[in-house]
Structure 1
Amino acid sequence: MLIFWSGTSFEKNGFLEDEKGKFLPRNAILEALESAVVFYYIKKDKEIENLVKKYLTTKPKIKEISREIKKIVFKKYPVMEGIEIPEKIYLPKENISKELVKVYDLEKKEFTNSFKMEIFKGVLENVHVKSENIEKIKTACKSYARALAEYEHKELKNTEFEDLIVDIQNSIANEWEIPIRVGYWTNTPYKGDLLFFWRIKEVREYLIKELDIDIRPKDVLYLPRTNEFLGWGEIKD
């Protein structure tokens, strides 16, 4: 079962569509899981951390960063091999709506942009994710979701949105089986793929200086009608 607890989008232009309807591609779920697994094993394994750190500080090619980091991690920890995710996850049209979305700048503590895009929210009971390594993936997803929510809590502290992220943290800790962050929820380069290195000043400064990219999240997308941040969901048996 796949549950989107908050509004979720695929990209600014909307969901993909074919003759059967609108859908999320397999890759949207796969990328969310891979981000979590990469974070977890970099955090867990000092050797992997050092390999990735070395790669990131030797002028990597911007378009290859996510792919190369995943290659380093999955070579030693092939936990994503054989995972089964539907190629197309069809979304009931009654759960899709065109919504006003606002961009909340975490540094300025204010909204800096807004636009309308397609949002899905709901439960997909017949969507199943299967893997021989599902327990390892579950552990990685919980670790990643906790770290991501902790970072956002730090940035949202003493704002009107602090309670929202506290609710998310409580759900991650006590309710959600396999928490995931899916789709278009931030404009941050690489989304959460480099989450572990957000706190490593040496890596951040090198990438800013050499590649002119800041890997820390500058913003999150917010849905004013339902008062929630985008992309939070859960995989459940």
Structure 2
Amino acid sequence: MNLISWTPTIFSRKGFLRDDSGRAYLPKNVFTDAITSAVIFYYIKKNKDIENRVKRYLLRDELDIKKVAKDVKNIVLEKYPVLENLELPEKVYLEDKDIKIEYVEVFDLKEWIDTKGFKTEIFTGTVEIPISSPYIEKLKSATHSYAEALARIEYSFLKEHPLGELFYKPLINDLKKWELPLRIGLWTEVSFKGDLLFFWKIKEVREKLLKTLKIDIKPRYVLYIPRLKQTTGWIELKN
């Protein structure tokens, strides 16, 4: 498959990893983490029993912040082992010509302000990425469900902001046509990224996590490239 970076991909505030020869690359976990987030969201949404199990877990009296993401993942994958035999390269190499340094805003979707911007490397381009899975069609369904939900939620904050009309409305339409959409890399610095996205509208869960773990799972802060007028990390995997 080919990775098409429709909007800039960021790995970290320090830039991309490089091998001993200085070649920039994205590590395997960038893709497995993104696919896992989609799978968690999709199957919690799809299966009421799974939703209730995860909800009961999150509403327990004691939660260990270090274990939450792993435990939720295990609950979902125990029932739907769709990540088994997923094969991806350990490193996906990037061309230097496709890497630039840009100013990146940490954009507050609620207040419409840059809270703590920084400069870092971004990647925009196309690169080949071998991927194999016996569950590829299920993964496509999961990634579509998650990416489209994420885009709609972010758009809901920006309906009266120019970015809503200029970027998010076209993005939401385009995502439906992508073969396997993902949100990869550093697109937010919020804990759990989108792993608990399904529960952001369920008040009791949201308030419990805010009180117990001091974490707001509402998708409020995203990374934004002001020069390009795009939020980061939106890619497609396409044959």
TM-score tier after normalising by the smaller chain length: over 0.9
2:52 to 50, 55, 79: 50
Task: Tell me what 2:108 maps to.
Answer: 105
Deviation at 1:235, TM superposition (A): 0.8
3-state SS, counterpart of residue 7 of structure 2: strand
What pairs with 1:59-208 in structure 2 (closer than 5 Å)?
59-124=62-127, 126-163=128-165, 164-173=167-176, 175-208=177-210
Q: State whether residues 108 and 114 of structure 2, in contact with CA within 8 Å, keep that contact through their aligned partners in structure 1.
A: yes
Contact 1:105–1:220 (Cα < 8 Å) also in 2: yes
Deviation of 1:112 (Å): 1.9
- TM-fit CA distance, 1:226: 1.6
- Alpha-carbon distance in structure 2 between the residues aligned to 1:105 and 1:232: 18
1:5 equivalent to 2:21? Answer no
- Inter-partner Cα distance in structure 2 for 1:202 and 1:55: 13
| Cα deviation digits, residues 165-221 of structure 1 (max 9, x gap) | 111101112x21111000101122111101101111010001111121111122111
Deviation string, structure 1 residues 86-144 (Cα, Å, up to 9, x no partner): 100111111111111011101212222211011001001x2122111000000010011
Please give the alpha-carbon distance, in whole angstroms, between the structure 1 residues aligned to 2:192 and 2:227: 27
CA contact (8 A) 1:101 1:115 kept: yes
Q: What is the RMSD of the two structures over their aligned residues, measured on CA atoms?
A: 1.0
Aligned-residue identity in percent = 48
Counterpart of 1:19?
Answer: 20
How many residue pairs were aligned?
Answer: 235
Q: Scaled by the length of structure 1, what TM-score is found?
A: 0.97
Shift of 1:19: 2.1
- How far, CA to CA, are the matches of 1:110 and 1:224 in structure 2? 11
Of 43-52 and 220-229, deviating more is 220-229
CA distance in 2: counterparts of 1:231 and 1:25, whole angstroms: 15
Whole-angstrom CA distance in 2 between matches of 1:120 and 1:167: 21
Give the unaligned 5+ runs of structure 1.
none
